[in-house]
Amino acid sequence: MYKASIGITTNMKLDATKWIAQKSDELGAASIWIGEDIGIGQEVFSLTASTLLHSNKVRVGTGIVPMSVHNISTLARAALGLHEIARDRFVLGIGIGGLQDLHKLGINLTKPVTALREAVGAFRKLWTGETVTTQNQLFELNNYNMRNIDGVQIPIFLGVRGPQMLRLSGEVADGVILSGPPDYLRYAVEEIDQAARKANRAPDAVEKVAWLPTIPTFKGGKESLAKKVVAIVVADMPKQVIDKLSIDSEKINRLRDAVAKGGPKAGIPFVDREMMDTFTISGDCEHMVDMFEKIAQLGVNEVVLGPPFSGDWRDAMTAIFQEIMSRRDT
């Protein structure tokens, strides 16, 4: 049985994130994943602390924070504090950060997989009180330790996409946060499981969380928003992901051309139901829960209901979780 979770981002208003944290246990959410919109909205670790304090049972994870915009010591120290506030409900979700963000910061990252592998190793050593010295393109530690801490184990999830990163997740991560169409998710899960086996790990030792754009088109949610999101997602999607899709490439190209010329709105007429079901989880309540189940069948453990939130999204979220729970009861 798959777990259903909620995704929020730092760009959301406090009253929205607080409502979600307070309602999460009642809704039956397994986790709340908090994505950091770089430089926008609430500060990610304060928001995470607040989310933990407004909830009782739900797991709360960053999903994800880009390593490129934080010093590694800040991430390690934030995770330790949140782990202690959470009493074992906290998960550190990290990624490298987008290429554009890296360029802006003047970071030329030619070995991102190595950097992320070393980061995971460094975190685990620091949290057991070890002194760490390491240097790569992303961070540097020289005889650094966190001083007088009791050893703790904090799960590390990686937000990854490419094949090498997927394999790295299978080797070293406690979980992975994936985003992409069902064909890609199937491929990603296989890659991760295979890498886990090669590393003598059980494939289910790596939790797989799928976070796709979810747009209810009921309770005031509009189909046009779902179509616009598809247009944005398709326009930004790397070729390596597009190539793995069974969807007609002509249709994809027409949509990409339209967005390139006129922006996301211009792409809306080129988005059909197949595309919506490929790139988003959208529709009425029953259809969305059907999609959750389909995605879970790809080997994913947890599916996230996340932004963009529009219309009467609180009611829509409640209805979706009620539908998920009622199907479980029967």
Partner 1 sequence: MMEWGVAVNVHESYQRTIELANQVNTAGMSYIWVVDFPAPRFAPAVAVKIASMTSSSRIGIGLLPSLIYEPEYVVRFAETLTHEFGERFDLLIGPGDREALGAIGKKNWAPGKVVNKTVDNAVRIRHALDELDITCPVWLAAQGPRMIAESKKLDGVLLNLTDPTMVKWALEILHERDTSFRVGIFSPTKITDSPIDPPPNDFLYSAATVALGASHSLMQEFGIKDSIQSARQIYSNDSGLSPNVLDEIGLDNLLRWGFFATPEGLVHSLYQLEEIGVDTTIFGPPISHSQSSINLLLKAFKNYKGAKD
Where on the chain is the footprint of partner 1 (CB under 8 A)?
14, 18, 39, 41-43, 45-50, 53, 71-74, 77-78, 80-82, 84-85, 135, 139-144, 146-150
Closest separation in Å from C-beta 25 to partner 1: 17
CA atoms within 13 A on the CB side of 82: 26
Nearer to partner 1, 90 or 218 (CB): 90
Closest separation in Å from C-beta 24 to partner 1: 17
DSSP H or E run through 216:
strand 214-216
Opening angle at CA 151, ends 34 and 6, nearest 5: 15
Nearer to partner 1, 14 or 99 (CB): 14
Q: Are 137 and 115 in contact (CB under 8 A)?
A: yes
Letter string b/e over residues 238-263, b meaning 16 or more CB atoms within 10 A of that residue's CB: eeebbeebebeeebbeebbebbeeee
Nearer to partner 1, 82 or 225 (CB): 82
Closest separation in Å from C-beta 103 to partner 1: 17
Nearer to partner 1, 52 or 296 (CB): 52
Q: Which of 233, 207, 260 is nearest to 31 (CA)?
A: 207
CA atoms within 13 A on the CB side of 197: 5
Closest separation in Å from C-beta 78 to partner 1: 4
Nearer to partner 1, 9 or 278 (CB): 9
Residue type, 188: A
Closest separation in Å from C-beta 144 to partner 1: 4
Closest separation in Å from C-beta 148 to partner 1: 5
Nearer to partner 1, 20 or 229 (CB): 20
Letter string b/e over residues 83-120, b meaning 16 or more CB atoms within 10 A of that residue's CB: beebeebbbbbbbbbeeeebeeeebebeebbebbbbbb
Closest separation in Å from C-beta 77 to partner 1: 4
Nearer to partner 1, 144 or 218 (CB): 144
User: What is the C-alpha to C-alpha distance for residues 237 and 264, in angstroms, rounded to an integer?
Assistant: 13
Strands (E), 225-276: none
Q: Are 28 and 324 in contact (CB under 8 A)?
A: yes
Q: Are 144 and 206 in contact (CB under 8 A)?
A: no
Nearer to partner 1, 150 or 329 (CB): 150
Chain-centroid distance of CA 142 in Å reads: 31
Closest separation in Å from C-beta 306 to partner 1: 20
